Amino acid sequence: MPDVIATVWDFDQTLIPGNMQEPLFKKRGINPSKFWKECNELIKKINEKGVEANPDTYYLNLMLRYAKEGGPLEGLTNKELEETGRGLLFHNGALDLFKRIVELNNEPKYAENDIHFENYIVSTGLKRIIKGSPIYRYTKKIWGAEFSSHDEEQEGPISEIAYSLDNTTKTRALFEISKGIGISSDQIDVNTVMPEELRRVRFCNMVYVADGPSDVPAFSLINQKKGATLAVYPRGDAEALAKVEKLRSDGRVQMIAEANYEPNSTAHLWIINKLRSQANQVIKDRQETFNKLGRGTPPH
C-alpha cells in the first residue's frame, strides 16, 4: 500500500475570496449581504426561543425557503450549482498549486518509493459548486453540503438537505480521509478501529489549510497528531490577519500566510516544503526499518 501525503483544504476565503454562493445569488437577483444578514437574524430568533440553530449549516434551510415556488431560487438544481462553480474566481496561484501538488507524484524520488500526493477539500459550503469548479480535476475527494431532489434521477429542483458539515464535524471528514473511507475500501467506516500504521493517510502526513478561528477543531486534531497546519488571510485585511496571528500565538496553527499561492509566495513555499518534508520522513523511516531488519540470508 502506498504512503499518501494529503493536503486538506477549506474552501471559502481559503481558496476563493468571499463565499461560493455569491455568484449564484447575484445571478438570481439576491443581494448576498442581505441573504447572510437574514440568515443570522433567523438564527438569533431561533436561539432566543430556546432552540439551538447551527450557524454553519442553517443557511441551507434558508436556501430551501428561497427555492420554493415563487422564491428567488425557484427551480434550483444540482446541475445549476455545478454550473455556478465553473465561474468561481480563485486566489492567485491556487489552481496552479493544486496542480503542482499532484505533479509531485511524477518526481522519481517519490514515484520509486510509492509515495502519493493528493488534495482534499472539506467545506461547510456546497459540494456541487466545488465539483463544478476548475480545481476539482486536481482533487481526490470533496466533503461538503448536498441537496437532494424528489425525483429518482436527482435532476429536478432541490427539495431536501441530504448532507451537511459544520466546523466540528469537519474532524470526522479528516478521520475518513485517514482511513480511506470511500476511496480504498467500502468495508470500513469512520468508527472502524484501525491502527495508525494501517491507515491510508496517517495524520502526521496531512497538511491542513484554512482561513481562521472556525477551523480550530480541525487545526487542533492535526496538530495533536503531528501534522502541519496553516492559517491564511486575505491580502490587506488587517482584521483577518489579527485573527490568524492570535491562532498562531495561541499555538492553534503552526504558520500563517497571505492567501496567495503563487510560486514565490509564503503559502506556496511553506506547503510544498511541508509536503516534501513529510514524504522524505516516510522514506527515512522505511530505510531505518530495513536497516534494523538486516539481511535475511548471510552473504557467501
The C-alpha cell at 101 is 501538488
Kind plus residue range of the DSSP H or E element containing 122: strand 115-126
Q: Which residue in 125, 132, 169, 172 sits closest to 147, CA to CA? A: 125
The pLDDT value recorded for residue 292 is: 73
Question: What pLDDT is stored for residue 61 in this prediction?
Answer: 97
Look up the CATH number of domain 3-18+85-293: 3.40.50.1000
- For the chain, which ranges sit under pLDDT 70? 1, 184-198, 293-300
Contact partners, residue 185, CB within 8 Å, separation at least 6:
none
Stated pTM of the model: 0.92
Question: What span, in angstroms and rounded, lies between the C-alpha atoms of 216 and 243?
Answer: 12
Instruction: Give pLDDT tens digits for 235-248.
Output: 999 999 999 999 99
C-alpha torsion angle, residues 278, 282, 283, 289 (rounded to 10): 150
Give the whole-angstrom CA distance, residue 246 versus residue 283: 35
Query: pLDDT value at position 185?
Result: 56
Phi and psi based region of residue 204 (left: phi greater than 0; alpha: psi -120 to 50; beta: remaining): alpha
Alpha carbon distance 218, 85 (integer Å) = 25
What's the pLDDT tens digit per position in 257-273?
A: 999 999 999 999 999 99
Q: What is the pLDDT of residue 199?
A: 74
User: Can you give the residue ranges of every domain in the chain?
Assistant: 3-18+85-293
